[in-house]
Amino acid sequence: MCGICGIVGSTNQSVIERMTRSLAHRGPDGSGVETFPRHELALGHRRLSIIDLSTRGRQPMTNEDGSLWISFNGEIYNYLKLKASLDSERHRFASETDTEVILHLYEEKGPAGFADLNGMFAFALYDAERERLFLVRDHLGIKPLYYTIANGKLIFGSEIKAILESGVCSPEIDWQAANDFFSFLYVPAPRTIYRGISHLPPAHYLEYDLQRRCIVKIENYWDVAQWGMEPEETDEQEICAKLRTLMTESIAGQMISDVPLGAFLSGGVDSNIIVGLMAAQASKPVKTFTVLFEGDDLDYYDERREAKRIAEKFGTEHHELPIDLSRPEEMLDMVDHFDQPFGNTTFYLTYLLSRYTREHVTVALSGAGGDELFGGYPRYRAVRAMRYLRYIPQTAARLALAAVSKIRDDFADRRLHRIRALLNGIDKNPANQYLKWVYYLDEERKGLLLRDRHQSQPSHRVLQSHLDRIPAGWDDGNRYSYLDVETFLPDNLLEYSDKMSMAWSLELRVPFLYPRVVEQAFRIPFDLKMNRSGSKAILRKAFADLIPEENLRIPKKGFNVPLGSWMRTKLDRYFDELLPKGYVDREGIFNYDCISQMREEHRLGRRDNSYELFAVLIFDKWYRKRITNQTE
């Protein structure tokens, strides 16, 4: 696991070294830079050693004759299988790394070989003979890759900060991206908050002509929707057997490591399955890591009892981390790791858990993706009823919402918030309805908060563009599961998983996102994933022997911070300190009266505005640091 960067149009050593240094946290074990004057290309690399810890794994790496070079971030889990399939007489390997396999796979198959890679990756591959540079990102978007073309130069990196460190482009706000941020609490790819800087979408590669200095194409090499819906598999025993085989195969590949390895363990089904399968294949106890929430007011979030049952069942070397939530304002400083506004506060828990886990291991496995693929989120219940709910008269919905709004919210959990969102979100446009159910500020409320929206387009267009690609015949549950896999998963969950784990040089692997598991998940009718027996029904059945019986009866809690109560207490004062009326009016981004109203509604429990208010705080923190260069 590493950090990569590069620039076409400059071989200035100090520039590429500065860009590479900005990614030092992603790879503390080594640094490498190569320049290629013929094409004015420079590649940088920071290394976190996982496989082949010797100096033979140094990057950027070349093939036998120096015609190909690569700067690679990630892990290829099937690299040994791919290596065995290559023409042994044609290739000479100088290392035991997965990186070198990519070079020789490209020699044989060209860009068509990218789809054969099973792993998490982002890499730049330089083909000197064809005068091409390829930027490639993994199937599900586990690893990030940003790029821009500015002043005739192509600049790219694992993080936006590497691009900014080049000094070639100055940071300017993309106001459409800002508008979308206040709906999603993240910026949907391919946009970023910076005008002109893009995020390469998952399962895509960018081909750049080094002679003509232009992008030849940006192409999708894999999309689960392209498979259509094969004949629905309804034999539950057969489905369970396939899931068991594929997940076992995924875990086996992801346990390959030359450094200590462990797993994040909550009380949920997903991490339970991963730990159980790891324990079956491990030669010694698996190291597991769980967060503890102290205090009666945080009991709703605490899963220590469920996690301990799992740890005892599999005899893991279990570690518990009591979370210190006394300084939630620390979250605001983490904008440095994202380089753009990011408002899902789960990143804070991942940051703290990654810091603790890194003290014991270098690699950890996570259950990310299980909810999106197997119906784990409460919102999927609403999706199943969507075709009926949209016909509820607006008058009736408004009356019900008015009645529910009178109930004072103590923010102990999010259930009342979900009921209000459900009633408020009823809309004949499915994409707009889903945005209101799942996300935050709709167009009307953004119009009140943002003083100048720069003629931005409505944010539900992002969702609609993905829904439009789904073949006819998919059931509603799988349609919206696919939508989440395309948007919520890479741009939100995987984004904070990468940034927060890499802040501590911890490699975080995600076995549920093995492409064959994803393909299989979308061949399963949604009624087998979520039904009367609960969410993730098919997973619970397939792996029933791995899940403690008491845990099967526990409702999903989620991995969250108590933001609702924090926004009434510890975080509320930051509006008075950082966003007084004079400052807000002078900068001209927000409507001060709207912020005041949201704070008042939240304090009185009339409406849970915690995430919307946090979005304002984190956006301002980013704006001061990156746009106006203010320290406070």
**What are the catalytic residues?**
2
Is residue 546 within 8 Å of 274, Cβ to Cβ? no
Q: How far apart are CA 77 and CA 93, in angstroms?
A: 18
CA distance 248 to 520: 14
- Angle, CA 78 vertex, CA 76 and CA 81 arms, to 5°: 135
- Which ranges constitute the DSSP H helices of 23-174? 79-85, 98-109, 160-165
CB 290 within 8 A of CB 367: no
237 exposure class (CB count in 10 Å sphere: 0-12, 13-18, 19+): exposed
Question: 591 exposed, middle or buried (CB, 10 Å; 0-12, 13-18, 19+)?
Answer: middle
- Closest alpha carbon to 566 in 335, 312, 348: 348
In 3-state terms, what secondary structure has residue 561? coil
What Cα–Cα distance (Å) separates residue 273 from each residue in 267, 332, 411? 11, 34, 31
Whose CA is closest to 478, among 183, 224, 240?
Answer: 224
Q: Are 536 and 280 in contact (CB under 8 A)?
A: no
Q: Calculate the CA 623 to chain-centre distance.
A: 22
Query: Alpha-carbon distance 182 to 173, whole Å?
Result: 14
Quick one: which of 175, 184, 178 has its CA closest to 436?
A: 184
* Residue 620, token pair as written in the block: 């301002």
